[in-house]
């Protein structure tokens, strides 16, 4: 997979940052709800481990919802 740069703002107000995090949480939950079985199957078949870099946090998708 090639690395691509995403063009995003360099600064958000605290309100904008909170809205973005809320949206990403809802998006993650929606994608997990729609593709949970497929993702689990893919990870089992390909023994896929998520690539987490030092500046990323691992998402706990096995809990079935947001924390």
Q: Give domain limits for the chain.
A: 14-49
Provide the terminal-to-terminal Cα distance of the chain, rounded to the nearest Å: 30
Mean pLDDT of 12-24: 93
Q: SS3 of 7, please? A: coil
Cβ atoms 39, 31 nearer than 8 A: no
Overall pTM surpassing 0.85 (yes/no): no
Q: Is residue 21 very low, low, confident or very high in pLDDT (cuts 50, 70, 90)?
A: very high
């Amino acid at each position: 997979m090639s690395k691509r740069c995403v063009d995003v703002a360099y600064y958000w107000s605290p309100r904008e940052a909170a809205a973005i995090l809320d949206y990403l949480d809802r998006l993650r939950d929606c994608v997990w709800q729609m593709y949970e079985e497929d993702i689990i199957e893919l990870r089992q078949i390909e023994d896929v481990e998520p690539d987490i870099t030092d500046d990323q946090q691992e998402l706990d998708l096995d809990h079935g919802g947001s924390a």
